[in-house]
Chain A
Amino acid sequence: MELLELSALELGRRIRAGEISAVEAVQASLSRIKEVEKDVHAYVTVDEEGALTRAREVQKQIADGTLNGPLAGVPAAVKDNICTAGLLTTCGSKILGNFVPAYSAQAVESLERAGVIVLGKTNMDEFAMGSTTETSAWGVTRNPHNLAHVPGGSSGGSCAAVAAKECFFALGSDTGGSIRQPSSFCGVTGLKPTYGTVSRYGLVAYGSSLDQIGPIAKNVGDCAAILEILAGRDEKDSTSVARADGRFTEALTDDVRGLRVGIPGDYLGEGLDGEVRAAVLKAADVLKEKGASVEEFDLSLTEYAIPAYYTIASAEASSNLSRFDGVKYGYRTKEFDGLHQMYKRSRSEGFGPEVKRRIMLGSFVLSSGYYDAYYLKALRTKALIRQAFDRAFEKYDVILGPVAPTTAPKLGESLSDPLKMYLGDIYTISANLAGIPGISVPCGTDSKGLPIGVQLLGDCFKEKNILRAAYSYERGRADTASDPAKKAVE
């Protein structure tokens, strides 16, 4: 059991030191998966054989010195919308229920080159559309802290797997908060990098201009180390950028003296749960005590973020998901008369209701006569939101606030009211629209024992600022409160 408590970096260190073997680490994770999966259901696919085979190879390479990175031999999970060669990649959808890619995402290749061992694929909202992991075609994932609650979404499987110690870290994707919000709900640490930092090649697109892959881990240090492996220019992704400042672990200094922290008043108003508010402000106090300056300010335009986001993301999704048509791969309806009926039935039967809703919404906002009024206006709003952040980052190094208005809702509470579910994204989606990095760090629990996360946002390419603040807070928090990440399913 003690092995499973280790952070990814600590496990990596012990594997390099020869105290634990990669095979032992994988075996421990696999038996933990066997133990808790019936309750949590974080995984869609567990690749037991593949992981053990790979662990033996990696262990050999560690032994002969060809692999010596900080995460060599560490078992991890990958969200099911990130392609893994030879391993089922379903995006939580029936329409890709039989899809085995012939290629791996660049992010997966980077991890594998670093000696990370992929245990399997984690559950998610269908095509990353949802905030609870309940829209998956393969059933819900439960929150390891309280099985009656959702883990958040859409990377709910990845966050639950980390929280339930079914892996040492996981990859998620974040289009509107899909890493940060479930990290907050599950009491783990999740980082959405600046748009362009991690290659999107092999990430099955939802909203291409907003999607980013990022790490979900037990602590800030792990996130920084994983990002070091993931970040970089990829010739296969035109939107990826070279990072000259890629040594993210250098920011783990526990020194926030002089750091300017701003709290948007807009993020503390109506709709925010009182316990969440208190926990977030307490986190700000920790940073203040450690020498950061903290003040409230008016970010503005917050109310426009949700409509702009759902317009842009749905528009892109309506086009991105049109390739799933039953012609080339994936689900095809059994009986049909002619091409058009085949298209129609395959898509009607293959997609779930939330995905259909967004395809219809997206198709509508792009259609002739509505393009200017909706899509173009949303793009302009996006530009204005970006400007609002530019102004804020002239004054602050880090913007601090809640991740979500509440802690994890109960299973079955959210889907009946999609509009309410969309409003739950209010604090996270601006970061995607502006392209900026954000991290969710556990900052306590509510009276029901459900985890709360604090969100730290930084300017584009300033991951180091938020990592510095998050790490420092984490150190301070450990002194003042018990680590919520340690309490999941015993």
Chain B
Amino acid sequence: MGKQYETVIGLEVHVELATKTKIFCGCSTAFGAAPNTHVCPVCAGMPGALPVLNRQVLEYALAVGLATGCQINRYCKFDRKNYFYPDNPQNYQISQLYLPICHDGGIDIETPEGVKRIGIHEIHMEEDAGKLIHDEWEDCSYVDFNRSGVPLIEIVSEPDMRSADEVIAYLDKLRLMIQYLGASDCKLQEGSMRADVNLSVREQGARQFGTRTEMKNLNSFRAIARAIEHERGRQIDLLEAGEKVVQETRRWDDAKEYSYAMRSKEDAQDYRYFPDPDLVPVAVDDAWIARIRKRQPEMRTEKRKRYLEEFDIPDYDAGILTSSKKLADVFEAATAICGKPKKVSNWLMGETLRLLKENNQDPQDIRFSPEHLAKLVDLVDEGAINGSVAKEVFAEIFARDVDPGQYIEEKGLRIVRDEGALRSAVEEVIAANPQSVADYRGGKDRALGFLVGQTMKAMKGKADPAAVNQLLRELLPRQ
């Protein structure tokens, strides 16, 4: 029997804040603009330009700090981290080292062994760097400073996690919390949430931590889980072979399921941190903290509880609806309009999640308006369209946010209330399907379903199935 190893994991999570403008200037943070169009002398590092802190950044950082039970530094400062790289126009990054805004908090995660607290060492604010675009054909590189100065918070956990499952649970909780706060959309794929994994292994029961490595370039929860398993295995193999783990930064290649060393501690840079003299220290007083605390939105647990009481929907529904801020927002908005919570919930839990999955999206990507969903629920309720047409209409709402009322009129999908038209359609179906008619009369109920289907088809779906059913029973009386 070989030795038993324990994995020790701490995370550094970068979250891009949802401010409209950058952390130290008025440039837009919008994603996807043409290169160097969201740039000014400040975020391009021009001589003489000076940073001025965006107050909203501080408020978001405080909101996240309070939600994660952190202590708030009443006097906090920004520091410069000095290093040369072309994506960094000043050749220093404005960050926080000595007095970060939040410290010593933690969040509870669910594990098979029960609730576990994951400590948060600190949360600090900093600016993002620009983006380098390498042109392999011309042997040169271009810099896009649109992202330079986009605000980030870095949430540094304690080394409290012991497995990939715990890491995912922690990240999931953190992400949901930040989404609920509106502080970020936290999309891993787009990079608005990025997690670096610090991992070491030690023999079960050992008191000392092993040597850790830092893993970068993890763009999905799956990549994180895979990278953790891989790195754990790699380190144990080293130790089993009598070798040492080298403290280094590694880069994960998810396609190849493999990581490689980027730089070791020996060539780690000396960042020569010092307080940024261009920014004044920030004093946070009790009144400010109280104001932010008061503004904190309802978080998932409270929301879930309220859904049960207020909307009388199953706990299962409430659990899923609150698992995404966006889903919960759409649910509440649509319900407020149509007043039919369970029906709205059904659309969100059924078709919405199915289509999202089909498109490889998550609830953050929902683009349709709650008004249109509410209207669809009403249209079905009024009997204006039947269930299968409703699904078809919803697909259009989901994809293009169409107005369902308008859409069914344009496409002529409204149920035909014309008794005569329906009667002649049913009569035609009866005439064309003598076998099924005989079967039904002979007691086979299933045959009636077939006849209803045939009638619906003849009506191009625009009939009310209940009315068709009713009419068939009338015309084919059984003794």
- Given contacts A102-B41, A363-B272, is CB(A323)–CB(B52) below 8 Å? no
Task: Tally inter-chain residue pairs, CB-CB below 8 A.
Answer: 97
Inter-subunit contact A238/B50 (CB<8 Å): yes
Inter-subunit contact A366/B84 (CB<8 Å): no
Looking at B51, B82, B277, B280, which has the most chain A CB atoms within 10 Å of its CB? B277
Any A CB within 8 A of the CB of B105: no
| Residue in chain A with minimal CB distance to B82 | A319
Cβ 8 A contact of B84, one of A91, A102, A103, A343: A343
Number of A residues near B (Cβ < 8 Å) is: 43
Q: Which residues of B contact A89 (CB under 8 A)?
A: 47
Looking at B50, B82, B273, which has the most chain A CB atoms within 10 Å of its CB? B50
Q: Which residues of A contact B41 (CB under 8 A)?
A: 101-103
Cβ 8 A contact of A328, one of B44, B50, B53, B82: B44
Q: Which residues of A contact B89 (CB under 8 A)?
A: 323, 328
Interface residues on B, range: 20 to 34
Q: Which residues of B contact A322 (CB under 8 A)?
A: 82, 84, 90-92
| Residue in chain B with minimal CB distance to A325 | B91
Inter-subunit contact A238/B45 (CB<8 Å): no
CA distance A318 to B52 in the complex (A): 21
Any B CB within 8 A of the CB of A385: no
- Given contacts A208-B278, A239-B280, is CB(A367)–CB(B270) below 8 Å? yes
- Given contacts A238-B52, A343-B84, is CB(A323)–CB(B45) below 8 Å? yes
- Given contacts A89-B47, A102-B41, A103-B41, is CB(A375)–CB(B91) below 8 Å? no
Q: How far is the CB of A78 from chain B (nearest CB, A)?
A: 12
Scan residues 314-328 of chain A and give those whose CB is less than 8 A from a CB of chain B.
Answer: 315-316, 318-319, 322-325, 327-328
Any A CB within 8 A of the CB of B49: yes
Q: Which residues of B contact A105 (CB under 8 A)?
A: 48
| Residue in chain B with minimal CB distance to A339 | B86
| Residue in chain A with minimal CB distance to B48 | A202
Q: Which residues of B contact A103 (CB under 8 A)?
A: 41, 46, 48-49
Cβ 8 A contact of A327, one of B47, B82, B143: B143
Q: How far is the CB of B272 from chain A (nearest CB, A)?
A: 4
Q: How far is the CB of A385 from chain B (nearest CB, A)?
A: 17
Inter-subunit contact B272/A325 (CB<8 Å): no
CA distance A205 to B51 in the complex (A): 13
Any A CB within 8 A of the CB of B425: no
Q: How far is the CB of A442 from chain B (nearest CB, A)?
A: 31
Any A CB within 8 A of the CB of B194: no
CA distance A236 to B270 in the complex (A): 30
Inter-subunit contact B48/A101 (CB<8 Å): yes
- Given contacts A103-B41, A208-B277, A238-B278, is CB(A83)–CB(B47) below 8 Å? yes
Q: Which residues of A contact B277 (CB under 8 A)?
A: 207-209, 239, 316
Inter-subunit contact B47/A99 (CB<8 Å): yes
Inter-subunit contact A101/B50 (CB<8 Å): no
CA distance A201 to B280 in the complex (A): 15
CA distance A318 to B271 in the complex (A): 12
Any B CB within 8 A of the CB of A394: no
Inter-subunit contact A323/B47 (CB<8 Å): yes
CA distance A449 to B374 in the complex (A): 91
CA distance A202 to B89 in the complex (A): 16
Scan residues 261-298 of chain B and give those whose CB is less than 8 A from a CB of chain A.
Answer: 270, 272-274, 277-280
CA distance A89 to B48 in the complex (A): 11
Q: Which residues of A contact B51 (CB under 8 A)?
A: 238
Scan residues 196-255 of chain A and give those whose CB is less than 8 A from a CB of chain B.
Answer: 200-205, 207-209, 235-239
Inter-subunit contact B278/A325 (CB<8 Å): no
Cβ 8 A contact of A238, one of B53, B84, B272: B53
Any B CB within 8 A of the CB of A480: no
For B82-116 the 0/1 string (1 means CB < 8 A from A) is 10101001111000000000000000000000000
Q: Which residues of B contact A209 (CB under 8 A)?
A: 277
Inter-subunit contact B48/A238 (CB<8 Å): no
Looking at A82, A99, A205, A238, which has the most chain B CB atoms within 10 Å of its CB? A238
Cβ 8 A contact of B50, one of A99, A236, A366, A371: A236
Scan residues 143-165 of chain A and give those whose CB is less than 8 A from a CB of chain B.
Answer: none
Tell me if B's interface is mostly helix, strand, loop or mixed: loop
| Residue in chain B with minimal CB distance to A127 | B47
For A282-325 the 0/1 string (1 means CB < 8 A from B) is 00000000000000000000000000000000011011001111
Any A CB within 8 A of the CB of B232: no
- Given contacts A236-B52, A239-B280, A328-B45, is CB(A319)–CB(B272) below 8 Å? yes
| Residue in chain B with minimal CB distance to A327 | B86
CA distance A202 to B273 in the complex (A): 24
Any B CB within 8 A of the CB of A96: yes
CA distance A369 to B143 in the complex (A): 34
- Given contacts A238-B279, A323-B90, is CB(A201)–CB(B48) below 8 Å? yes
Q: Which residues of B contact A318 (CB under 8 A)?
A: 82, 272
For B386-421 the 0/1 string (1 means CB < 8 A from A) is 000000000000000000000000000000000000
Inter-subunit contact B278/A239 (CB<8 Å): yes
Looking at A105, A366, A367, which has the most chain B CB atoms within 10 Å of its CB? A366
Any B CB within 8 A of the CB of A368: yes
Any A CB within 8 A of the CB of B147: no
CA distance A83 to B270 in the complex (A): 32
| Residue in chain A with minimal CB distance to B25 | A236
Any A CB within 8 A of the CB of B202: no
Q: Which residues of A contact B82 (CB under 8 A)?
A: 318-319, 322, 366
CA distance A425 to B273 in the complex (A): 28
Q: Which residues of B contact A327 (CB under 8 A)?
A: 86, 143
Any A CB within 8 A of the CB of B80: yes
CA distance A202 to B50 in the complex (A): 8
CA distance A104 to B100 in the complex (A): 34
Inter-subunit contact B143/A201 (CB<8 Å): no
| Residue in chain B with minimal CB distance to A234 | B50
CA distance A82 to B49 in the complex (A): 11
Looking at A82, A201, A316, A323, which has the most chain B CB atoms within 10 Å of its CB? A323
Scan residues 72-95 of chain A and give those whose CB is less than 8 A from a CB of chain B.
Answer: 82-83, 89, 91
Inter-subunit contact A201/B274 (CB<8 Å): no
Q: Which residues of B contact A329 (CB under 8 A)?
A: 46
Q: Which residues of A contact B278 (CB under 8 A)?
A: 205, 208, 238-239
| Residue in chain B with minimal CB distance to A241 | B280
Q: How far is the CB of A470 from chain B (nearest CB, A)?
A: 29
Cβ 8 A contact of A101, one of B46, B52, B279: B46
CA distance A315 to B51 in the complex (A): 19
CA distance A325 to B382 in the complex (A): 69
Q: Which residues of B contact A99 (CB under 8 A)?
A: 47
Q: How far is the CB of B156 from chain A (nearest CB, A)?
A: 19
Looking at B44, B49, B53, which has the most chain A CB atoms within 10 Å of its CB? B49
| Residue in chain B with minimal CB distance to A344 | B84
Q: Which residues of A contact B84 (CB under 8 A)?
A: 322, 325, 343
Inter-subunit contact A366/B272 (CB<8 Å): yes
CA distance A99 to B272 in the complex (A): 28
Inter-subunit contact A315/B274 (CB<8 Å): yes
Q: Which residues of A contact B48 (CB under 8 A)?
A: 82-83, 101, 103, 105, 200-205
| Residue in chain A with minimal CB distance to B51 | A238
CA distance A84 to B52 in the complex (A): 21
Q: Which residues of B contact A207 (CB under 8 A)?
A: 277
Inter-subunit contact A96/B45 (CB<8 Å): no
In the assembled complex, 26 residue pairs joining A and B whose CB atoms fall closer than 8 Å, in A order, are A83-B48, A102-B41, A103-B41, A103-B46, A103-B49, A200-B50, A201-B48, A205-B47, A236-B52, A237-B50, A238-B53, A238-B279, A239-B277, A316-B277, A318-B82, A319-B272, A322-B90, A323-B45, A323-B47, A323-B90, A327-B143, A328-B45, A339-B86, A343-B84, A366-B273, A367-B272
Name 6 extra pairs, CB < 8 A, besides A201-B49, A239-B278, A325-B91.
Answer: A205-B278, A237-B52, A339-B86, A343-B84, A367-B270, A367-B272
Please list the residues of chain A having a beta carbon within 8 angstroms of any beta carbon in chain B. Answer: 82-83, 89, 91, 96, 99, 101-103, 105, 200-205, 207-209, 235-239, 315-316, 318-319, 322-325, 327-329, 339, 343, 363, 366-368, 371, 375
Interface pairs A-B: 7 shortest CB-CB = A322-B91, A209-B277, A366-B272, A208-B277, A202-B48, A204-B47, A83-B48
